[in-house]
Amino acid sequence: MLPLQMLPMFPIRLFRSFRHCRFIAACAVMTLLTALPLQARGQDLVGLINAYRAAPPPCDGERAAPLPALDAPPAMARVRIGAGTFLELALEQAGYPVEHAEAVYLSNVSDAPAAMALLRLNFCEKLLSTDFAAAGAVRTGDDWIVLFARPLHEVPLPDPTVLDAEVLAAVNAARAAPRNCGEQHFDAAPPLRWNDALTKAALAHSSDMATHRYFSHTERNGSVVDDRATRAGYAWQRIGENIAAGQKSVAEAVASWLDSPGHCANIMNPGFEEMGLAYAVNPLRGRVYWTQVLGRGR
């Protein structure tokens, strides 16, 4: 996670939050206190922001084209942000999961027009950003938290009932040709077979990572892939595991493994004869956790 960076621009402080690659980077808002938000006045500010976007003046000396209005979801007006709060998590808990969010804190501002004047003066590029699709404002007395966000969009996931055929096709296509995994060369390897016990072990680990929101080969109880394979009923003489997070398709998951020397070596290893794969989704964030278990039975 990226810690909050505070700009020394009184009475305005800027807090940023970014989502990148396969992991979420969230920003901690360190110095804000909460009270009941004045939602109606926050909506007034969003209306002023949208009027500005509809007919924007020059920003930092550059002409700006009109932009669509930002949505104003109710969740962004009731989000609670306090000391030590992570911005993305706060929005998620308020019922609005996001891919990307930023917040501006304004202090000693009496009303929405005064808040808008400060935003125009100091943050015109944020007001006119195409990175955002929604905005909201939370007011506590004369302190305002102005939020800009891009919501998390659901992407259809592969059908679990046909996952075996899709995965085997992708993995065996990779094994069918010689490949360099980093500095290690692998000749073409025989195709893998699907194994239900290895899939059971893969699903157990993906589900645990999704439920508890971590990313590791080692579960919180200390168990690793050989323990999980044994519990699933697979008698193995060789076992391996690949994991991934954030990919929305089999093709993306397999491609990410082939781009990583260690994961690629697992896929190309001729000592493996069988595999299983499963994914699980964190219900709040929508983040997908993938596990591939490769094995050779006794």
Q: pLDDT tens track of the chain, all 298 residues?
A: 222 222 223 333 343 332 322 222 233 333 333 333 344 455 689 999 999 999 999 998 899 899 999 999 998 988 887 766 778 888 888 888 887 889 999 999 999 999 999 999 999 999 999 999 999 999 989 999 999 998 876 666 777 777 889 999 999 999 999 999 999 999 999 999 999 999 999 999 999 999 998 999 999 999 999 999 999 999 999 999 999 998 889 999 999 999 999 999 999 999 999 999 999 988 777 789 999 999 999 9
| Same domain, yes or no: 243 and 117 | no
Quote the domain boundaries for residue 142.
12-151
Do both 101 and 193 map to the same domain?
no
Task: Please say which residue of 151, 174, 204 terminates a domain.
Answer: 151
Same domain membership, residue 190 and residue 143: no
Nearest to 39 by CA among 81, 77, 87: 77
For the whole model, what pTM was predicted?
Answer: 0.56
* Residue 271 is assigned to a structural domain of this protein: yes
Q: What are phi and psi of 174, to 5 degrees?
A: -70, -40
Q: Would you say residue 73 lies in a domain?
A: yes
Residue 7 lies in a domain: no
Q: Total domain count for the chain?
A: 2
Residues 173, 131 share a domain:
no
What is the reported pLDDT for 90?
85
Q: What amino acid occupies position 185?
A: H
What pLDDT was estimated at residue 43? 65
**pLDDT score at 4:** 27
**Cα distance between residue 110 and residue 215, in whole Å:** 45
Examine residue 250 and state whether it is found in any structural domain, yes or no: yes
Residues 278 and 177 in one domain: yes
Among candidate residues 151, 174, 193, the one where a domain is terminated: 151
Q: Is the domain of 49 the same as that of 96?
A: yes
Residues 271 and 164 in one domain: yes
Domain match, 212 and 289 both: yes
Provide DSSP, 112-164.
HHHHHHHHHHH-HHHHT-SS-SEEEEEEETTEEEEEEEEEPPP-PPPPGGGHH
